[in-house]
Homo-oligomer: A and B are copies of this chain.
């Protein structure tokens, strides 16, 4: 028996939606040759990561095995799959393979970090393949909500693995490749060792709908509008942008793209040839000159992002365009959980202006890009894998997906980030656990999620911050009185005096009456002052403030 093993190791994307990063390895333990699938990001929020710019997978494990990495494969150009290539490339150093559209986006990101175009290699789709050490990898086209999305067919000495990436089963996807079960059945013929499979929509009970299903609804809505029409969707959903633009054109409107991402994605689509028949677009300047019933804007900001075009239009004005009573704003999108407040804020702002807002609450103007529960079953049955490994989902999605596979008689395992699974045997088996986590891009610096930096920010946000400065002379006597500044705290407390005054008086009294041993010892003095400050703060305003003490000693 060979001691060489085929392993699967998610470093991001398993146990969460976002930040996808999966590793496959083959070889003897500790000497595996590795490939990486996807290098994505996830986005921060005020609840847990205030001030953070971007969240990246922690790739320390990979970095330590840099010399074992054969290649990086990117399945598609969504931020949660490709967003980290520029930030992490230097630490991995392996060539990046993807199809033309994805490569266009990836190269843009690499350029921002000063990496040459050559770091990203464009490959043709299946049946062409790329050899990477013991792996032979093919990009198998599949429908999703961005062009040229591909599953990966990964041939290994221990058999064929199909890594679905994100997918849906759409035979009429408008832009991009249709779902072709014949081709997939062909791929399955030699037998599939493992199907590593998207779990996002495992809780959606009905079969997924096609992108084409909503074209008529969109056209009817736009045709009936009497004022300006503005629609938002993910810019990367090029099929939707095209459907919207064509519907607008048929309704006699000139199309104007607004927002950097919107223009960037259409440009990439045109450059790489994935987008034909896109209506002529006009500039915002020209749009502003036309009667508003002849204009349709396609804008960024479907998730209520504060700086996107939709939010700026809701706030008043964007690039000279201003909405008014009787205009129509369409969310051709689903609100991602957690973004509800931002989206609702915008809807209410539009309501105040008198703009009618239409969202997807009826399911008429949006379809999902992920396979629903019956579609997953279709995929399982078509591929007949020895085992299903659910990925791309929170724990609840992975667990439900594994149960679905098991109910249908297929072996499955719930493997969250950091779980190394051996695929070599007849059943998936946990081969170990790897320390994983998140890396925060914070300004220009990368920090660890557990460094305590963000924790301190959250504490200041919850509790406010008291700063105390005391000066001690050569004899360890206080020189003058302590000085207190507060930030994020009420100025007046229950004793009806300024909080800083009460704090200064109480700290002064403490320092005066403290023994020499305490006054001579920075740590003890610091600790004592903090204790007094916290108690006074609690008494005065009922809060446990954060306290920073600066002790200056004249020597």
User: Which chain B residues lie closer than 8 Å to A445 at the CB level?
Assistant: 490, 492-494, 541-542
1/0 per position for A419-458, CB-CB distance to B under 8 A?
0000000000000000000000011110100010110111
Docked CA distance A462–B354 (Å):
33
Q: Is the interface of A mostly helix, strand, loop or mixed?
A: mixed
CB distance from A264 to the nearest CB of B (A): 23
Given contacts A454-B488, A552-B469, contact A443 B50 (CB under 8 A): no
A541 vs B50: C-alpha distance when bound (angstroms): 16
Chain B: minimal CB distance from A353 (Å): 10
- Residues of the B chain whose Cβ atoms lie less than 8 Å from the Cβ of A381: none
- CB atoms of B543 and A51 under 8 A apart: yes
Interface segment, A76-84, A148-156, A338-346? A338-346
Is A178's beta carbon under 8 Å from chain B? Answer: no
Assuming the contacts A47-B341, A51-B464, A550-B550, asked whether A395 and B456 have C-beta atoms less than 8 A apart, the reply is no
Contacting residue for A465 out of B396, B447, B460, B462, CB 8 A = B460
1/0 contact trace for A392-413 toward B, CB 8 Å?
0011100100000000000000
- Contact B479–A460 (Cβ < 8 Å): no
Decide if A46 is an interface residue (CB 8 Å cutoff): yes
Distance (Å) between the CB of A453 and the closest chain B CB? 6
A442 contacts B487, C-beta separation under 8 Å: no
Is the CB–CB distance between A443 and B542 below 8 Å? yes
Tell me the count of chain A residues lying within 8 A, CB to CB, of chain B. Answer: 65
Contact status of A548 and B460, CB under 8 A, knowing A344-B394, A542-B445: no
A510 within 8 A of B: no
Least CB distance, A410 to chain B, in whole angstroms: 20
A283 at the interface (CB under 8 A from B): no
Minimum distance in angstroms from A148 CB to a CB of chain B: 31
Are B340 and A344 in contact, CB atoms less than 8 angstroms apart?
no
Residues of B within 8 A of A362 (CB): 205
Known A47-B47, A480-B554; contact A543-B442, beta-carbon cutoff 8 A: yes
For A487, the chain B residues whose CB sits under 8 A away are 456-457, 460, 465, 546, 548
A347 beta carbon closer than 8 Å to chain B? yes
Note all chain B residues with C-beta closer than 8 A to A348: 15, 394-396
Beyond contacts A443-B541, A451-B490, A469-B552: 5 other A-B pairs, Cβ-Cβ < 8 A, are A47-B341, A445-B542, A461-B461, A485-B550, A552-B552
